[in-house]
Amino acid sequence: MRAIETSALTKRYGETTAVDSLDLTVPEGTVYGFLGPNGSGKTTTMRMLTGLTTPTSGTATVTGVSVTNRKALRPHIGYLPEEPPLYEQATAYEQLEYIAGLRDIPQQEVQNRIDSLLDRVGLSPDDAATRIADYSKGMRQKVAYVQAVLHSPDIAFLDEPTSGLDPRAARTIREHIRELTDEGTTVFLTTHILPVVEEIADTVGILYEGRLVAEDTPEQLTRRAETGDARTLEDAFLEVTSTDPAAGASVEAEDD
């Protein structure tokens, strides 16, 4: 079944086209890595898919629900934005208990879910009882991640989920993302750390100037860039987001 499906999804701001006729199909229970240079339209796409921004034209559904129906969409999704909303005067426990109430998580499950996830991302009970204002960037990111997945969403939209984390904590988040998909959650993530995508993504889509210029498995995208030397997903990314029009045209031709 399709977790995400878009058809000619477009967003314009005045004369500027941020996302241009985007066609996506993301199966359930997979990790979709959404890549692109700064300003390519990744965040705008994610905001449309989470119902925070209304498309200018085209259609999109998430778990079969139109993205224009924010009320119906909300229970199915979790969202970790690049700058997550955290109340600095609250402790992590207080923040997450508040979110649990908004998400209608049964009261008898709240404490176990919070404790389990905080432990999974490496925040101790003492950490969780400390005000968020006193947290490091990495600790804030951990709380924001837990906040996004606390209600076991059908689809988790994660914008730079390992931002600010040390290598050990980043690995923990990567492992947990894979655990989520094993349990049936679909993960749609953006990141500038390409090895993260190589490790956990089932499919990678590359956005450039608002258009999807390549989409395939990490292995196939890497193979597409091979020229006899050892190549990486980074090489493929740089190739398909080249400012050379001929490079973009060749990639689009391969996708047709």
Query: Which domains, ranges and CATH numbers included, belong to the chain?
Result: 2-255 (3.40.50.300)
Question: Over 80: is that where the pLDDT of 108 sits?
Answer: yes
DSSP state of 192: S
The pLDDT value given to residue 73: 97
CB 50 within 8 A of CB 89: no
DSSP annotation of 91: B
Give the pLDDT score at 47: 96
Residue 134 DSSP class: G
Element (H, E) at 216: strand 211-216
The pLDDT score that the predictor gives to residue 223 is 77
Q: Provide the pLDDT confidence category of residue 234 given band limits of 50, 70 and 90.
A: confident
Phi/psi at 149 (nearest 5 deg)?
-115, 5
Chain centre distance of CA 204: 12
Q: What are phi and psi of 15, to 5 degrees?
A: -90, -5
Task: State the Cα–Cα distance between residues 62 and 198, nearest whole angstrom.
Answer: 24
Cα–Cα dist 98/147, whole Å: 10
- The reported pLDDT for the residue numbered 252 is 35
Residue 110 corresponds to which tokens in the numbers above? 């709240």
pLDDT average, residue stretch 44-56: 97
Q: Where do runs of H (alpha helix) occur along 130-212? A: 137-149, 167-182, 194-200
Q: Provide the pLDDT for residue 32.
A: 98
The pLDDT value recorded for residue 226 is 57
210-238: average pLDDT? 78
Question: What token pair was written down for 228?
Answer: 């006899």
Average pLDDT of the segment spanning 211-218: 93
Does position 247 have pLDDT exceeding 80, yes or no? no
Kindly report the pTM of this predicted structure. 0.89
- Which of the four pLDDT bands, split at 50, 70 and 90, describes residue 222? confident
